[in-house]
């Protein structure tokens, strides 16, 4: 019945919600003849969500169905542009398919329409984190791939990219972007970058299977602590910072106070930066946040 519907209607899409949805698709729906690998009319047209129906129900209409309704006409417009000899940009289409976890569409776009290396940091982060949560939930063989891609993006938050500047006795946190050393981002940008991960996790955390939460939750906890520390340091008065840090960094704070009297701003910034890098290393358990799938 599903094969017939798919043959008659090229816009036919199925959202299949079941912890075993992918297995059912591979064994019963993807091929007319599994041994001969003859693809069925429904291949690539099932968005299978590996969750319990009752847990994901609140998101079906407001997230998954809505995103699919948004992206389908957009995709058709892009295909029409290609037929006219134009070169459309598929980034938004990729992001929306990743958000509703349409894995076969995401893989198709990455194989034939999109160069991953040419995507922006924000598009990569939205896509890779959504697909990591999905792959970790299904336990498929792409979990490591998406974890590696997320970890590459997280190098942005490496302690070596973190600097503290001094603005009229107020501390200001800055983060240098990878491969863009001439540009910096301030606390507002860092908050926005972190929200890409935090908001997507908070939307989907309640229906993630245990194996997915075990991979994602430690990273989210680290990221939350990182963001909390960023907010704590940024725009803090130097005098207050000195008072808070002198117990754990007595020698560094002594040097800082001496330099402050001589108004050696650059040297002061270097000391505070080194202190904060050590604080961030405590949060990260190393030089940067990393997702581990072991």
Contacts of 254 (CB under 8 A, 6+ apart): none
Burial of 135 (0-12, 13-18, 19+ CB in 10 A): buried
- The CA distance from 271 to 219, in Å, is 28
Tokens of 39: 């693809």
pLDDT at 140: 85
215-236 mean pLDDT: 91
182-207 mean pLDDT: 78
Specify the higher pLDDT residue, 250 or 25.
250
Answer positive or negative: Cα dihedral of 96, 218, 171, 178: negative
- The CA distance from 243 to 132, in Å, is 42
For residue 114, the surrounding DSSP H or E stretch is none
Burial of 27 (0-12, 13-18, 19+ CB in 10 A): exposed
Report pTM. 0.84
Burial of 133 (0-12, 13-18, 19+ CB in 10 A): buried
Give me the helix-helix angle, 103-112 and 91-99, nearest 10°.
160
3 state DSSP class of 36: coil
- Residues belonging to the chain: 294
- The CA distance from 234 to 188, in Å, is 10
pLDDT at 58: 85
Res 108 pLDDT > 80: yes
Contacts of 207 (CB under 8 A, 6+ apart): 51, 52, 55, 56, 59
Contacts of 12 (CB under 8 A, 6+ apart): 5, 6, 42, 45
Res 157 pLDDT > 80: yes
Res 181 pLDDT > 50: no
Express each pLDDT in 47-105 by its tens digit. 888 888 888 888 888 888 898 889 989 999 999 999 999 999 999 999 999 999 999 89
Burial of 229 (0-12, 13-18, 19+ CB in 10 A): middle
pLDDT at 254: 95
pLDDT at 182: 45
Q: Which of 33-37, 233-237, 241-245, 269-273 has the lowest mean pLDDT?
A: 33-37
Express each pLDDT in 123-134 by its tens digit. 999 999 999 999
- The CA distance from 30 to 45, in Å, is 9
- The CA distance from 279 to 201, in Å, is 25
């Amino acid at each position: 019945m599903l094969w017939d519907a798919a043959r008659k209607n090229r816009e036919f899409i199925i959202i299949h919600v079941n912890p075993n949805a992918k297995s059912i698709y591979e064994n019963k729906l993807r091929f007319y003849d599994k041994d001969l690998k003859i693809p069925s009319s429904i291949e690539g047209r099932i968005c299978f969500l590996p969750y319990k129906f009752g847990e994901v129900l609140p998101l079906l209409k407001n997230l998954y169905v809505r995103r699919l309704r948004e992206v389908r006409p957009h995709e058709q417009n892009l295909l029409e542009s290609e037929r006219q000899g134009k070169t459309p940009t598929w980034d938004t289409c990729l992001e929306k398919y990743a958000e509703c976890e349409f894995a076969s569409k995401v893989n198709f776009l990455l194989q034939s329409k999109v160069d991953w290396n040419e995507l922006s940091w924000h598009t990569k982060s939205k896509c890779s984190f959504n697909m990591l949560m999905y792959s970790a939930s299904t336990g498929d063989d792409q979990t490591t791939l998406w974890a590696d891609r997320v970890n590459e993006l997280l190098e942005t938050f490496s302690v070596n990219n973190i600097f503290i500047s001094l603005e009229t006795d107020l501390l200001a946190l800055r983060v240098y972007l990878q491969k863009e050393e001439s540009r910096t981002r301030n606390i507002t940008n860092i908050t926005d970058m972190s929200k890409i991960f935090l908001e997507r996790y908070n939307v989907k955390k309640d229906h993630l299977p245990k194996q997915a939460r075990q991979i994602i939750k430690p990273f989210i906890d680290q990221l939350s602590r990182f963001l909390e520390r960023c907010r704590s340091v940024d725009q803090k008065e130097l005098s207050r910072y000195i008072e808070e840090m002198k117990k754990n960094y007595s020698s560094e704070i002594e040097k800082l106070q001496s330099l402050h009297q001589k108004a050696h701003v650059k040297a002061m910034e270097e000391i505070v930066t080194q202190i904060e890098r050590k604080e961030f290393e405590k949060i990260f358990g190393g030089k940067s946040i990393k997702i581990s799938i072991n």
